[in-house]
Structure 1
């Protein structure tokens, strides 16, 4: 009996030893200079490549893997700029310090590993989001892969492969550091995507970007890839057609992508309520009852790219982009009623034909220097050409009461030049500074019974410097920028010139691997658009005239925000609040002039917004189901020179993703996020989307529905002006219960190589033409 007790005790001790959780840690350094390397992806796998856990090295190059069971493992270390290293750990039974691990320098390395379990690592300036095997298995491109990840504030429309930000703001899409457009993201194969770097706190080098999504991908050395992504409405003429391809030969890469998007609707109409208080004391209240009319447009985008990797430390690329939109019909028709006398009614027609073309040439050069230094030069030339023709008529039987014809021809030329220098120091500290200058010239012709020819010059100069450092658990970033805005219109004796100094500060405190708190404050410059500055006018209807204001001044914007994040296991939460203050903001205003109401813009007193948002995410559950919910509120305070308004908007967004074997199901609902600016409320979309997909190898097919549970689709806009207010509801019947079919096919050939990542990209999308419609 005594021997049996001893045997049981010894067995328990042995079992306790083997059940003990162990720790694996180490420090990653560069083999070239022995400096610590941060943001290295450290992945622990079993011998059969099953994911166990993963972390990223900190600013000192350290990593720590906790709560590991004894056994046989493989450690995989990968990072941009270094060759991936594999370390075999056989029969590990106790806490292990691997000491210094040296990665061989390869300035163009982009290799990575496939992770079998979802992983997200938070850093002060970004999140490193690794796609899981499950997410890649059900995705065919970079857009629907992002949809599966459910990142904070990112809205993915799987029906037409669009990516946006909840609440608006500038979203920058990048591939290996280079700014890309949505069609280039569609061309990415999920198997080539190592990770997505999610910058929800971008630095000054990104300008006014709200969020930056940088896809870190593998690149082919020889061979390339080709593919297509097609979506087509079943019960409506709605389509998205994409074809793309890329071929590599030695040090050169050739790429081409083309997108075509036709739309043809016959169920578009609007209902409108208007109130006019004229200078003679009369008050007119009328209602527009819309009738189904025709809406047709045709969008197309072409990208042609050539890049040369002359050495592992240099990259040159030239990209030609052609954007175009032809809108031959955007027609409204209906009847206008006098609210006080319904027998007083007239027929109304409001038809707009519009087209624009935007070719651009982008030249880029990057040179990596010794000691973690980088130089970037970028030059972009753009030509914007826009044509617009609007007819507005009010008639009674055969008598024409109002007949308005507006013709606009706009030509704008712009040149953007940028230079950036970056230097990485030890312990994660970094310094960057740069210069950007934009010079533009526009020549616009307005014909509406009066002939207006406007010639305008505009210049924007932006100089910035930013430093990033760390004190224990506190990461900080301080930046300072100087902006210069210049504007002149020919024939106008006045010119505008303004200088401003814009500081930015970020404090990021990491409580643990599961939570952090971040505070950000910044001042940035806002400049008037060329269309608002035009010394011209356009007739809107029988009572209203839209007029530009060449006396507009640039103004400063002040913003502060606080973010708290907590995540553990399958649970994730993000709590965010912000305050915006913009004194002298350029906002709309209206005033009486005879029996006409003049719509214009002016520097008003101030605009303020208080915002709050909470995001909750759970999943994946059973490696199949993922749920996400976001709720928030925006409170607006708009104070003009002659008005004061407040408005509060509550909203929510919810998503669910379910995957089983080769099938995936996606559901999404968004309630209206409404924006209030000046005296105008711009309504958001209240939409639902439902889709089912099946994937086999490189082919994915699916069916989906847009607003499947409603019989109509509308967007509501309002204006609260005391002289001329309105409440407009715009409808497109085809957008309700619209059924879609989709097909994606993407394949590649050739071996992989490691490509240098591009840092910046610029574009000019402002045509400088004043709008002619309501």
Structure 2
């Protein structure tokens, strides 16, 4: 007896009962190919036969109805399991998303059509991007932003993707991806988007994941040429990317250059040093400065993918050179009662080659094996010169930094709707630092962390439960100090309840530990100026205990979708900034303490019509910090993101209320901001222009309050806009764009 799966399609636009109603769609197999000549039968709720039809040679079908109503639809085809769904029709034309038919040798997951372009496939949503969203975007980031998923904050220009302020992992065809080449993934090459709101399998280490599924072609390639320029300042980025493919093999090559030479943002600081004998206040007034930066990066990557396995190897190189120069006037209160001019110059030179390997194997009997490994070497050299009244203070550091990461996961699914997985994750860092200047020293630090997990998931009709116990093995050592071993259990538990086809409630809890940065555990010192020094603290507790509780709800109704999220976090023995005095100087160091916060969000998205889309999100945060002192922060903020499409143009408007971000003993305040983006896409050309707060400067502030030291920092950011132009062209026959290349333009360091 075939196993029936209910598919519910609900539409809420009331029309006349005399109108003609049509439902268009497509049946596909597990490979995404159309199922030809499949039989489709339509029945009333009472099982009376209404009509029948078949799919064409490409798997497409058309159902016509003379009136609204609720119907049962049965699908059948040779070599595929029968499939039944309930259809609620109330609008004249429905373009239903693709419906996958299960091969008779495999088990079909729960499938629910929850909207015009979304299909719930067990623990993720399968999204078919609509034509307007694709037309008015060039990159994958722009396409994701156009979808206006509730709770998501997508910044296409910087590559930031968060869900309720938590990072979202990005994949392309199941392989990890990052900003530098995801932006070269063209939206017109994206066929589907998987939104893993309940990550499992290869995504089980993620809070949430987006997987871009690309179109498949056999031979050819394409290239992208991009130039981005700041208006009003010498600041630009220029990139070239090309991809060439033959059958299963893909070759990816990219290179880029970024230059930056512009006036620094104006920063003025008021400080109060509460020395026991004689308190001193200082005003640090900006008197000009400049920042220059040159960044070069490139990558070569080879991949080979088929239905049974995915393998890729990539090598990349990043070089970054920067100089920062700032002039200021320092005004001291009694007992100094003086004023002096100061200058600070910071120069850094960093180079980092890296190598990464990715593989994924589909094994027999519903099994898989996943491996993701990477290694990098970074050489950092920086020199800092601070002078006041022509008295120099020179210090610097040269570092050799090594990093190795490996993640291995095995999983298996069973016929009783349950599955297991086992994972081992290893990360290793090794840093050798030579500090020069007034406080010369040599530091050698290394840290190793091994995580071992076992997961079990069980699904019921409307419920599913997941448990992932594990063990953390951490070892670290700072030169001339004892070996630190911190081992402890970890546990993640999750429950999912879907009361209807359009609602999901998720509750989860996580318990574990995390290592304090070994740089903070060292006894190294770094002078800041003639009054302040940064110093590590070997007496810190090296292990933090973590607790997280989360409740999340999402729903859809008509053209709207909404989500709500509340999270409680507690970190015990966190390294919290601490201030004290030693030998006539203020020492900025660290002390073990507790940090707690409650974050709550409500987000609403509205696809009003083909031309207008809107997202509104509100956030409330309450934090507690307790170490030598206590501090609390309570704050509410909101933001809005609206897009309007017209012909080849898109106008995007963003706005947000003032926002405070906690800093243990204080906060950083961002004022109300508003931004305007104008996009133009036509054939092979794409142009974007954007600006934030065009009519006033963005003035940020930072307030810090402790018994020993208080400060108030105000920064007036440089006002500017950007223009970006991208040209793309195909050569040969267009192919699949997997675009998983990873060029990480950041470099690692453990310098204090």
Task: Count the aligned residue pairs.
Answer: 689
Residues 439 and 525 in structure 2, CA contact (< 8 A), matched pair in contact too:
no
Alignment of 1:145-294 (within 5 A): 145-158=143-156, 160-165=157-162, 168-202=165-199, 209-279=206-276, 281-294=277-290
Change (3 A) 1:168 1:204: farther
Question: Which residue of 667, 686, 695 corresponds with 1:700?
Answer: 686
Distance 1:324 1:61 in 2: 54
Distance 2:137 2:743 in 1: 29
Residues 118 and 132 in structure 1, CA contact (< 8 A), matched pair in contact too:
no
Distance 2:561 2:606 in 1: 6
Distance 1:197 1:298 in 2: 37
Distance 2:644 2:361 in 1: 44
- List per-residue Cα deviations over 1:176-196 (Å, max 9, x = no partner): 121111122111121221222
Alignment of 1:306-455 (within 5 A): 306-309=302-305, 312-328=307-323, 330-339=324-333, 344-395=338-389, 400=391, 403-426=392-415, 428-455=417-444
User: Aligned-pair distance for 1:748?
Assistant: 3.3
Distance 1:672 1:204 in 2: 39
User: Aligned-pair distance for 1:656?
Assistant: 0.9
Residues 143 and 161 in structure 1, CA contact (< 8 A), matched pair in contact too:
no
The alignment status of 1:299 with 2:295, answered yes or no, reads yes
Deviates further, 190-199 or 445-454: 190-199
Change (3 A) 1:609 1:205: farther
**For residue 48 of structure 2, what is the aligned residue in structure 1?**
none
Change (3 A) 1:524 1:261: farther
Alignment of 1:610-759 (within 5 A): 610-619=598-607, 621-640=608-627, 642-684=628-670, 687-710=673-696, 712-733=697-718, 736=719, 738-749=720-731
The alignment status of 1:547 with 2:547, answered yes or no, reads no
Change (3 A) 1:192 1:184: same
- Structure 2 SS opposite 1:531: coil
Question: Which residue of 562, 567, 570 corresponds with 1:581?
Answer: 570
Distance 2:62 2:280 in 1: 86
Change (3 A) 1:92 1:625: closer
Change (3 A) 1:343 1:747: same
Give the alignment's Cα RMSD to 1 decimal: 3.1
Distance 2:624 2:291 in 1: 35
Change (3 A) 1:264 1:717: same
Change (3 A) 1:656 1:170: closer
- List per-residue Cα deviations over 1:70-124 (Å, max 9, x = no partner): 77755423466554435524666564322515555999xxxxxxx9x96234567
User: Aligned-pair distance for 1:498?
Assistant: 0.8
Residues 357 and 384 in structure 1, CA contact (< 8 A), matched pair in contact too:
yes
**For residue 139 of structure 1, what is the aligned residue in structure 2?**
137
Question: Which residue of 484, 498, 504 corresponds with 2:473?
Answer: 484
Distance 1:327 1:764 in 2: 14
User: Aligned-pair distance for 1:206?
Assistant: 5.1
**For residue 46 of structure 2, what is the aligned residue in structure 1?**
none
Distance 2:119 2:236 in 1: 37
**For residue 7 of structure 2, what is the aligned residue in structure 1?**
63
- Structure 1 SS opposite 2:182: helix
Distance 2:464 2:678 in 1: 43
- List per-residue Cα deviations over 1:248-294 (Å, max 9, x = no partner): 02332100122333222214221001111124x21001111112210
User: Aligned-pair distance for 1:716?
Assistant: 2.5
- Structure 1 SS opposite 2:643: strand
Distance 1:528 1:208 in 2: 21
Residues 83 and 106 in structure 1, CA contact (< 8 A), matched pair in contact too:
no
Distance 1:486 1:215 in 2: 37
Change (3 A) 1:551 1:228: farther
User: Aligned-pair distance for 1:690?
Assistant: 0.7
Change (3 A) 1:168 1:564: closer
Distance 1:339 1:261 in 2: 43
Distance 1:201 1:344 in 2: 61
User: Aligned-pair distance for 1:299?
Assistant: 3.0
Distance 2:262 2:742 in 1: 36
The alignment status of 1:461 with 2:447, answered yes or no, reads no
Residues 433 and 464 in structure 1, CA contact (< 8 A), matched pair in contact too:
yes
Alignment of 1:528-547 (within 5 A): 528-547=516-535
Distance 1:166 1:293 in 2: 36
Residues 170 and 210 in structure 1, CA contact (< 8 A), matched pair in contact too:
yes
Residues 70 and 92 in structure 1, CA contact (< 8 A), matched pair in contact too:
yes
User: Aligned-pair distance for 1:200?
Assistant: 4.2
The alignment status of 1:507 with 2:532, answered yes or no, reads no
Alignment of 1:121-140 (within 5 A): 121=119, 125-140=123-138
The alignment status of 1:85 with 2:35, answered yes or no, reads yes
Change (3 A) 1:622 1:342: farther
Change (3 A) 1:267 1:67: closer
Distance 1:453 1:267 in 2: 33
User: Aligned-pair distance for 1:205?
Assistant: 6.0
- List per-residue Cα deviations over 1:33-65 (Å, max 9, x = no partner): xxx8xxxxxxxxxxxxxxxxxxxxxxx755344
User: Aligned-pair distance for 1:658?
Assistant: 0.3
User: Aligned-pair distance for 1:347?
Assistant: 1.1
**For residue 4 of structure 1, what is the aligned residue in structure 2?**
none
User: Aligned-pair distance for 1:391?
Assistant: 1.4
User: Aligned-pair distance for 1:646?
Assistant: 0.5
Distance 1:187 1:757 in 2: 7
- Structure 2 SS opposite 1:450: coil
TM-score, structure 2 as length reference: 0.85
- Structure 2 SS opposite 1:191: helix
- Structure 2 SS opposite 1:135: helix
- List per-residue Cα deviations over 1:545-577 (Å, max 9, x = no partner): 111123441212101111122221211221211
User: Aligned-pair distance for 1:144?
Assistant: 1.2
- Structure 1 SS opposite 2:633: strand
Distance 2:270 2:480 in 1: 39
- Structure 2 SS opposite 1:292: strand
Residues 183 and 257 in structure 1, CA contact (< 8 A), matched pair in contact too:
no
Distance 1:762 1:259 in 2: 10
Distance 2:239 2:685 in 1: 15
**For residue 41 of structure 2, what is the aligned residue in structure 1?**
none
Residues 267 and 294 in structure 1, CA contact (< 8 A), matched pair in contact too:
yes
Change (3 A) 1:106 1:145: farther
